[in-house]
Amino acid sequence: MKETRGSNESRLFWLGVVLCTLYQSYRYPLQINSAGTSPTYSDTPLILQAGKFVLAFPLFALALVECLRKTGPWRQWLIVLAALFLSTYSLLKVFGDKDPRYLDLSFWLLFSLVLVWAVDAVKVSALDRYLQYLLFYALGSTLIEVILFFALGRLPALAFEGTYLIRFGGFLDDPNGFSAILFLLMGWSYSRFKGWARFFILVGIVVSLLLTQSWTALAFLVLISLLWGLVGVSKRPVVAVVTICASALLVVAVIHAMPQAPAQIFEDMLTAKQGSIEGHLFPWAQWFSRWTEWTLLGDWTYNPYESWWAGALINFGVPWLCVCVIFTAGLLFSLHGALSRAAREARPVYSGLFLFGCYFVFGCLNLPLFIVFPINFLFFLFSFLVAFGKIRPQRQLSFGDTPTMAPAE
């Protein structure tokens, strides 16, 4: 009976993960997203907007029944109480303003919590297989979009004909959200593969990142590249210096060969994204002059600012944001701690989850990732898995050029 119950819990968990990962794959083939930001697309019908909640709710209810049978240590209860506070307050905001973005935060935070709490354990090998399929799907969908664009002129979402602003968002058809998926795969594949397999996979991921034209993602890519370079310098200074000098000479040679084109392309892209750049600016002076209206409980109307951390301060108030920051930092530290303690066979998975978590926190400086589905769901889900100690080591199946696995603990 116990084995059957565990199998049901695992099935519920993976049904929820697969549903949320794949749900928005309808966007690109049906050209449905937002007509305001995608001229060749139509607005998403209400039935599709609500569909993900309708499909997830039965899984939520079944998982909640399993949760009632379980208990946990006090450290887990602190996480649960913080999540319940954040989710409940956001849900209460819905009744005042009726903005669906409150529900996007409240439901997916609670849904991920219930799914993780209900399952007894998730094997490292299962997460590894999930990331394998996700890698094929992410790179494959990007390749299809690029081929159709050059062959047929088929535009993805957030693309404007006659400009350089053609942003490819993979199976999500959302460049900013898809960038988070790519960082998840980058961290995992760097540790998962060796030799030429790792080289080609990472090249595919980086090229896909460049095609998103997400400046937030590109800034994070530059940041982690610099950190990786500093680590390389400390370990192999001669090789690192030679590589940096060779790269600099290559860049100079390319710019010299095309003295006008790079600057012109960059200027055209900057002009095309001017409206988006202005939309990411936050009017601090306007809100500081009205601080008594939002400091404690937040503004009573949702303000859709791009920067999550700044916008959450106004929309939810100082106390809520303080809990949110502490809660998020705790989850991120859990990811880091798990990576530092991980056995050899588990390190690729934890590396991917940690880099994904780092990008999520960094990206929220300029993007509202807490309300971007399914990125918010996946961040909470993976973080809860680690914080609750639900991931169990197990010897992985061989796939590509992988390191030798240590025996399962």
For 103-144, how does the pLDDT look when each residue is reduced to its tens digit (9 = 90+)? 999 999 999 999 999 998 999 999 999 999 999 999 999 999
Q: Which residues contact 330 (CB under 8 A, 6 or more apart)?
A: 79, 82, 387
pLDDT at 381 over 60: yes
Rounded to the nearest angstrom, the gap between the alpha carbon of residue 349 and the centroid of all alpha carbons in its chain is 15
Single-letter amino acid, residue 369: L
Which residue has tokens 């690109």?
A: 28
| Among 286, 281, 288, residue whose Cα is nearest residue 318 | 288
Give the per-residue pLDDT at 399.
Answer: 44
Q: Which of 96-100, 158-162, 209-213 has the lowest mean pLDDT?
A: 158-162
Rounded CA separation 120/116 (Å):
8
The half-sphere exposure of 10 on its side-chain side, counting CA atoms within 13 A, is 15
Q: Count how many Cα atoms sit within 13 Å of the Cα of residue 143 in the half-sphere of its side chain.
A: 9
Closest CA to 353 of 59, 196, 127, 54: 127
Position 398 confidence tier, pLDDT thresholds 50, 70, 90: very low
* Reported confidence tier of residue 1, pLDDT bands at 50, 70, 90: very low
d(CA 45, CA 34): 10
| pLDDT higher than threshold 60 for residue 273 | no
Instruction: Give CA–CA dist 94/310, Å, rounded.
Output: 20
- pTM value is 0.86
* pLDDT at position 284 over 60: yes
Q: Give per-residue pLDDT as tens, 7-33.
A: 777 899 999 999 999 999 999 999 998
Burial of residue 403 (CB within 10 Å: 0-12, 13-18, 19+) is middle
Average pLDDT of the segment spanning 358-366: 95
Q: Taking residues 35-57, what's their average pLDDT?
A: 89
Cis peptide before 319 (omega within 30 of 0): no
Whole-number pLDDT of residue 38: 80
Q: Average pLDDT, whole number, for the chain? A: 84
Which residue did the predictor score with more confidence, 332 or 4? 332
Interval 231-255 mean pLDDT: 62
Residue scoring higher pLDDT (121 or 261): 121
Q: How high is the pLDDT of residue 407?
A: 36
Decide: helix, strand or coil at residue 33. strand
Q: Would the pLDDT of 222 be above 60? A: yes
Lowest-confidence pick of 86-95, 117-126, 284-293, 305-314: 284-293
370: pLDDT strictly greater than 60: yes
Query: 182 or 295, which is more confident?
Result: 182
Q: Please give the single-letter amino acid code of residue 48.
A: L
